[in-house]
Amino acid sequence: MNDLLYAKVEGAGKPLLILHGFLGMSDNWKTLGAKYAENGFEAHLLDLRNHGRSFHSNVFNYKVMADDVLAYCKANNLDKVDIIGHSMGGKVAMNLAVMYPELVNKLIVADIAPKYYTPHHQDVMQALNAVDFSTNPSRNEVQETIEKHVSEPGVVQFLMKNVYRITPQQLGFRFNLNAFNNDEEAIGMALNDTDVFNGSTLFLRGSNSNYIAESDVDLIKKHFPKAVIKAISNSGHWLHADNPSEFFEKSIDFLK
């Protein structure tokens, strides 16, 4: 398959790949991407497979997603890239680093550990599966359906960013919901026991998030011996959105 990931590219300089989280897309990183671009980086904001404007596939696991990023780098002659990956994108970035260490210069993982996570997006998945596009709902009707299952306005807005016009008459989701329904476990998968990346690595965690626990530190150091772990204050799992200025400061200090 020669499908290439869709990306928005900003700036010129050192290549920096930014990988979004589950049900996200490159747009989520537009503001921060522009800041990295202003600071000497060529920022590549990728849409991962089954997300955003990238291709859909029923094959959905971290190995193929890492291979997608490798293929993107080869097609664009990118080498020794810096990477920022958030949540699912952080898992893709970790897999890329352990599979192809020669490709990765510095690695930043945002609010995810290399461990297994049980499926925990049930309310969101129920909401998305409750939307019936065959009845030609309006945007407002789609939002009302989602709101029956998801109470946080920020999450509702995040999901609604994925609703677009497939045709002038018909709305749909940008992501590939079928692939996610078929393999809910894939998102939570851990790194293999023997996986190691010896390069410079920074883990950033949300101070109010429970995705990286104190008990995960040993596992992080096992897979990433040079890892430094820092907290972003006043932030949850969406640390880059909750506190973008501190996220930018801590990440740029590490990357420079």
In whole angstroms, give the CA distance from residue 17 to residue 220.
21
- Catalytic residue list contains 121: no
Instruction: For the beta carbon of residue 198, count every other beta carbon within 10 angstroms.
Output: 11
Catalytic residue among 26, 237, 240, 251: 237
87 counts as catalytic: yes
CA distance 124 to 225: 35
Active-site residue identified among 26, 54, 87, 209: 87
DSSP labels, 62-97: HHHHHHHHHHHHHHTT--SEEEEEETHHHHHHHHHH
Q: Please give the radius of gyration of the chain, using alpha carbons only, rounded to the nearest integer.
A: 18
Query: Catalytic residue positions?
Result: 87, 237
